[in-house]
Amino acid sequence: MNTTASLVESIKTTNTIGKFGKLVSFHGTYVSATGVDARIGDLCYIYKKNKAENIRSEVVGFDKDNIILMPFDTMTGLMPGDRVERINNNTKYIYSDRLIGRVIDALGEPLDSLGDISSIGKGPWKTPGPINPFERKRIDTIANTGIPIIDGLLTLGKGQRVGIFSGSGVGKTTLINQLLSASDTEVNVIALIGERGREVTEFIECILGKEGLSKSVVIVASAEQPPLCRVYAAHTAAKIAEYFSYQGKDVLLTIDSITRLAMAQREIGLARGEPPSVKGYTPSCYSILPNLIEKSGAFKTRGTITAYYTVLIEGDDMSDPVADYMRGILDGHIVLDRDIAAQGKYPAVNIQESVSRAKGALINDAEKSILMLIYKYHSLFHESKSMIDIGAYKEGENVELDKAIYIEGRINDLFYTGKSLDRNTVMDELSNIISSANQRKSS
Ligand SMILES: Nc1ncnc2c1ncn2[C@@H]1O[C@H](COP(=O)(O)OP(=O)(O)OP(=O)(O)O)[C@@H](O)[C@H]1O
């Protein structure tokens, strides 16, 4: 073929239609564009007229011939007719061991002052698809936390996915930070989603500190960022955790908070016309959660991903739809109680409401017997608590209730004084409490 013929052929076969489109409408959290040949999930640039800036956005839906775009940046300065271009879907995610020690945004751009992330070298690592259930293994190794109420009563395992549930200001973030500090995993992947900017700085400088950061990757999408950033941040964190687990490392993934992630997804879902249900949550708010959570776990051929997620219970209402859904898909939940926190008892774990589904396989029979008695007497104490509180019960009237009152006092001292103890000490102490209670009965 001569040159002219070859040029004619390439003109015929080149897709020149639909590469650029233009903005036609603005709807608060999203914009619509026409004339762009793009699919759901594609990334686009919106070029501001007469400005050298562009806005990154993602196609989240379409309406007739118009695509619906949600931005990763603020939309100030956009105007009708701004050009929209689909770009190759090569996001800037970097998967490299050198991510450790870095603070990045939802798209993998650095937020710290340690230089361009791309300079650490691209790790063209393709995220595997859904995990074959046979690749998973049973959770068989205890994850010590140093927190007596958790190690003693709940006993968490490596690869377990645990939610920390409470209303606002009851101690979720403080507890997740304690769990992070106590962790002996090789890498921590920490996603801060929808947090106040002040909390992000405080967390990195005061709580994590240089030592903590030296084995962590922090992904931040704070409250003022667009919903798409908050959703991407969670997925970026889960993928980075997955990457390190494929390097054979035991990873701790923390996401604070899942509720703010669901709220961000609600904004996206409503923008693309999904039907709202309870509290306005749309179907995709629920469907993204198992996708995210299933990336963690214990695996046969790679390292574990132990995950802690905070879940806000709006208005302290335990039937909150996101909290309710999360409880069903996790391997355990730690419920923090405002009444316990109000008495200055921290971490304000509600013993009766909290559950670890991996515990049965992690503790021995002797420990099971002790815990059965602790739960039995704790429950008996709470059944009679209102009577005890008003002074209607007198010591000596009921041997079992006397034991329950004694045990409750001792476990309060063990669990709610903020001391860090190793698990063996806690289990020995629980065993002593039961023996002492029995001796009191017989004396
Ligand atoms: N272990 C603890 N020891 C002492 N004080 C605590 C502890 N946990 C929480 N608090 C107190 O409770 C306050 C709120 O804690 P935190 O920010 O962890 O709650 P939260 O449930 O994450 O709140 P939000 O839902 O608003 O993010 C803290 O500022 C502190 O005063």
List, for residues 35-74, the tens digit of each pLDDT value. 888 888 888 889 988 777 788 888 888 888 899 998 888 8
Q: What tokens does 236 get?
A: 């970026």
C-alpha to C-alpha distances, 381 to 334, 352, 384, 393, nearest whole angstrom: 20, 12, 5, 12
User: Which phi and psi angles does 121 have, rounded to 5°?
Assistant: 90, 130
Determine the Cα–Cα distance for residues 31 and 46; give it in Å rounded to an integer.
10
Binning the chain into helix, strand and coil, the percentages to the nearest 5 are 40, 20, 40
Q: 173 in ligand 1 pocket by Cβ < 6 Å?
A: yes
Interior angle at CA 76, CA 75 and CA 81, nearest 5: 75
CB-CB contact of 312 with 140 (8 Å): no
Q: Kindly give the distance from the C-alpha atom of residue 429 to the centroid of ligand 1, in angstroms, as a whole number.
A: 27
Q: Kindly give the distance from the C-alpha atom of residue 338 to the centroid of ligand 1, in angstroms, as a whole number.
A: 10
ipTM summary value = 0.96
Helix (H, G, I), strand (E, B) or coil at 154: helix
Residue 341's pLDDT is what? 92
Residue among 22, 67, 15 at smallest CA distance from 46:
22
Q: 347 in ligand 1 pocket by Cβ < 6 Å?
A: yes
Residue 122's pLDDT is what? 45
Residue 125's pLDDT is what? 44
Q: Kindly give the distance from the C-alpha atom of residue 393 to the centroid of ligand 1, in angstroms, as a whole number.
A: 34
Q: Provide long-range contacts, Cβ within 8 A and 24+ apart, for 14-23.
A: 19/85, 19/86, 20/83, 20/84, 20/85, 21/67, 21/83, 21/84, 21/85, 22/80, 22/81, 22/82, 22/83, 22/84, 23/78, 23/79, 23/80, 23/81, 23/82, 23/84
Q: What tokens does 180 get?
A: 């992070």
pLDDT digits (tens, 9 = 90+) for 70-110: 888 888 888 899 999 988 655 555 677 888 999 998 888 88
Q: Say what the pTM is.
A: 0.85
The two beta strands, 66-71 and 161-166, are unpaired
Q: 170 in ligand 1 pocket by Cβ < 6 Å?
A: yes
Which atom of ligand 1 is nearest to 336's Cα? 21
Residue 120's pLDDT is what? 46
Q: Kindly give the distance from the C-alpha atom of residue 414 to the centroid of ligand 1, in angstroms, as a whole number.
A: 20
Q: What tokens does 420 get?
A: 């860090």
Low-confidence ranges of the chain (pLDDT < 50): 16-18, 119-125, 443
Say which residue the tokens 């020690």 belong to.
101
